[in-house]
Amino acid sequence: MNIAFFWTGDFSKNILKWILETKKLKISLVVSQPDKIVWRKKELFSTPIKKFCIENNLKILQPKKLKNNLIFLKN
């Protein structure tokens, strides 16, 4: 079964890791919040789930909005 995983936080990384380890489900896509600029350092920071996806070669999308987002719906 192919599934899309919608989550952002650090806790979600552990859940996604568990899903991948069980090998019962195939994660086709991960959807997370966009990277954000931290105002004090003015640096762009990625979500923990995005870092995990990059390390594990998972496809990730980070749309600003989901509602009426035709680009997101095509993926």
- Encode pLDDT of 4-29 as tens digits: 888 878 888 889 999 899 988 889 89
Give the residue among 25, 23, 18, 24 at the shortest CA–CA distance from 52: 18
53-57 mean pLDDT: 93
Question: Alpha-carbon torsion 64, 66, 72, 75, what sign?
Answer: positive
Domain boundaries, given as residue ranges, for the chain: 2-74
With a pLDDT cut of 70, the percent of the chain lying above it is 92
Q: Is the pLDDT of residue 73 over 70?
A: no
Task: Assign domain 2-74 to a CATH class.
Answer: alpha beta
Report the predicted TM-score, pTM, of the whole model to 2 decimal places: 0.76
